[in-house]
Amino acid sequence: MANPGITISGRALRAVRFARRMTTTQLGEACGCTASFVRQMELNRRKPSIDMLGRLEQALGVTAEELDAELT
């Protein structure tokens, strides 16, 4: 069985990343993923795992609610 995914707002993720003046590479390094994966999440093509959501929250200093996160 696949891990449950999280749907986040790619637009919100990108807005927060821009506000923090971070590149996709910097956010990827902070979260332990690639810049490509960050970009795919921003384009709503990929969903983060629950673990990745936690890493995004920590790296960006936001809550899941601020990323419009929803368990899928």
pLDDT in tens, 4-34: 567 888 999 999 999 999 999 999 999 999 9
Pick the residue with more confidence: 1 or 6?
6
pTM: 0.85
The half-sphere exposure of 26 on its side-chain side, counting CA atoms within 13 A, is 9
Q: What is the pLDDT of residues 59-71, one digit of tens each?
A: 999 988 888 876 6
Statement: 9-61 belongs to CATH 3.40.50.2020: no
Q: Is the pLDDT of residue 47 over 50?
A: yes
Q: Is the pLDDT of residue 41 over 80?
A: yes
Q: Residue ranges of the domains in the chain?
A: 9-61
Amino acid at 37: F
Q: Which two tokens stand for residue 40?
A: 């795919």
